[in-house]
Amino acid sequence: MASEILDLCALGMRLRPRQRLMGADLGTKTIGLALSDVERRIATPLVTIRRTNFSKDAAWLSSLLNEFDAGGLVIGLPLNMDGTEGPGAQAVRAFGRNFAPLSACPLTFWDERLSTAAITRSLIAQDVSRAKRAAAVDRMAAAYILQGALDRLRALRPSG
């Protein structure tokens, strides 16, 4: 049942045709999720949950990966602006290491620098209220992260 932590290219090569990818934005209090379409072109915000403990969070995440037949999980990695890994990135990597043995779904990490800031700016520009922004930002950040990975996978795909 244990999955692997792969680089994005290796993950892309393992996917079956029409198999979705799921994206995750792991915060300290919430987890935002997004889902790709079956052609892996567009990431759509899915849901945000309040974190409780690792076991419950992992069980919930595994059930959604199964429900949507996701072939892989893209987890946002909050790198520092200089590319180094701080405590946040270390916590995300630890979650991935602990989650991998519990799931059959392979996972990868994707640089999420400024994803939440970009989403927040976009929502402010659209005049979304603070309360509605708080409710939407995590799943929208997950979609932003997943869209970056989908765009990269498309660029890596051989033409023809």
Q: How many domains does the chain have?
A: 1
For the chain, 160 residues long, the average pLDDT of each consecutive 10-residue run is 86 95 95 97 96 96 96 96 94 97 95 79 80 78 95 80
* pLDDT score of 124: 82
d(CA 23, CA 39) in angstroms, rounded, equals: 15
What's the pLDDT at 1? 59
Residue 1 lies in a domain: no
- For residue 103, the SS3 value is coil
The pLDDT value recorded for residue 160 is 46
Q: Could you give the count of Cα atoms lying within 13 Å of 112 in the half-sphere of its Cβ?
A: 29
Q: Which domain holds residue 148?
A: 8-155
Residue 3 lies in a domain: no
Structure token pair of residue 9: 């290219």
CB neighbours of residue 99 within 10 Å: 22
- On whether residue 58 sits in a domain, the answer given is yes
Q: Angle at CA 29, nearest 5°, toward 24 and 34?
A: 20
Indicate whether 82 belongs to any domain.
yes
Domain contains 91: yes
66 within domain boundaries: yes
Which CATH number characterizes residue 77's domain?
3.30.420.140
Is residue 106 domain-resident?
yes
Bin 103: left if φ > 0, else alpha if -120 < ψ < 50, else beta: beta
Specify the pLDDT at position 149.
97
| Residue 88 domain flag | yes
